[in-house]
């Protein structure tokens, strides 16, 4: 890597959030260690800058998000009566009540289910509720609309009441029982799979559960100098949110 290119990235990282916040915390830490000395404040600022730096750097994504994404490998049933279950990952709402589009994570999940439909004629179960305004179509129905626009010709089932990952499975259990599905292929983002599979096994104890993770965010390439520069908090916050969510579910719903 050219030194000039790295220096350009370093300066950009230091001047744009979240790297800017790391720079400010480090600068304030240096001031705190100067006269009149405030060592405790300086130490706290230094710790804060370090934590923020790790969370914002691609290195932090590998440390926090990668273990979640590698928890489950793709798996499919060999026989039986399976259903492909897509968990909602957010929607964008326009001015019209029919103007609802899946956000990127939802779209990745829809694409994952659609790719399965190319080789398997399994029905697809879409989950997700509508926003506070009840006149808008549900997230599940918006994903169904996208699937049809992609020329999916198979059976689509909708569960339109769930608001959380736990409710995705809790409110789909009756529908799965009615249709006699004996296997559920869970399609969601890789970082969200660990929490999803736990919820699935708790709510569907008599059904085979098969993970189908999509949209990995963590890299496996060799680390380089740019991986140590603050870039974004988005991915690591996703990971921390998953760990907290899983702990909360254990507490609320664990046996």
CA–CA gap between residue 170 and residue 228 (Å, rounded): 41
* Cis peptide upstream of residue 36 (ω within 30 degrees of 0): yes
The model carries a pTM of 0.91
What is the C-alpha end-to-end distance of the chain, expressed in Å?
A: 53
Q: Tell me the two tokens of residue 149.
A: 């626009």
Residues of the chain with pLDDT under 50: none
- Residue 209: strand, helix, or coil: strand
- B/e letters for 244-254, b = 16+ CB within 10 Å, e = fewer, are ebbeebeeeee
Q: Enumerate the β-bridge partners of residue 156.
A: 124
CA–CA gap between residue 28 and residue 50 (Å, rounded): 13
Residue at token pair 């008599």: 206
Which residues fall within 8 angstroms of residue 251, CB to CB, at 6 or more apart? none
User: Tell me: the pLDDT tens digits for 207-251?
Assistant: 999 999 999 999 989 999 999 999 999 999 999 999 999 999 999
User: Tell me: the pLDDT tens digits for 5-33?
Assistant: 888 888 999 999 999 999 999 999 999 99
The enclosing H or E element of 156 equals strand 156-159
Residue at token pair 């608001």: 163
């Amino acid at each position: 890597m050219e030194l000039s290119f790295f220096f350009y990235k370093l300066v950009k990282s230091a001047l744009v959030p979240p790297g800017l916040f790391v720079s400010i915390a480090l600068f304030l830490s240096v001031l705190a260690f100067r006269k009149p000395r405030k060592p405790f404040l300086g130490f706290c600022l230094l710790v804060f800058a370090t934590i923020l730096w790790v969370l914002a750097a691609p290195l932090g994504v590998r440390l926090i998000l990668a273990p979640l994404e590698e928890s489950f490998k793709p798996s499919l049933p060999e026989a039986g009566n399976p259903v492909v279950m897509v968990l909602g990952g957010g929607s964008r709402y326009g001015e019209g009540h029919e103007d609802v589009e899946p956000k990127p994570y939802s779209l990745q999940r829809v694409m994952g289910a659609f790719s399965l439909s190319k080789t398997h004629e399994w029905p697809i179960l879409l989950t997700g509720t509508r926003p506070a305004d009840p006149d808008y179509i549900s997230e599940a129905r918006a994903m169904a609309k996208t699937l049809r626009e992609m020329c999916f010709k198979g059976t689509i089932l909708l569960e339109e009441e769930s608001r959380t990952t736990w409710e995705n499975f809790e409110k789909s259990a009756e529908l799965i029982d009615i249709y006699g599905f004996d296997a559920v292929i869970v399609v969601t983002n890789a970082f969200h799979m660990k929490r999803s599979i736990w919820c699935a096994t708790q709510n569907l104890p008599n059904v085979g559960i098969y993970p189908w993770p999509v949209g990995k965010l963590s890299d496996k390439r060799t680390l380089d100098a740019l991986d140590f520069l603050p870039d974004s908090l988005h991915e690591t916050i996703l990971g921390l949110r998953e760990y907290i969510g899983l702990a909360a579910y254990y507490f609320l719903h664990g046996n």
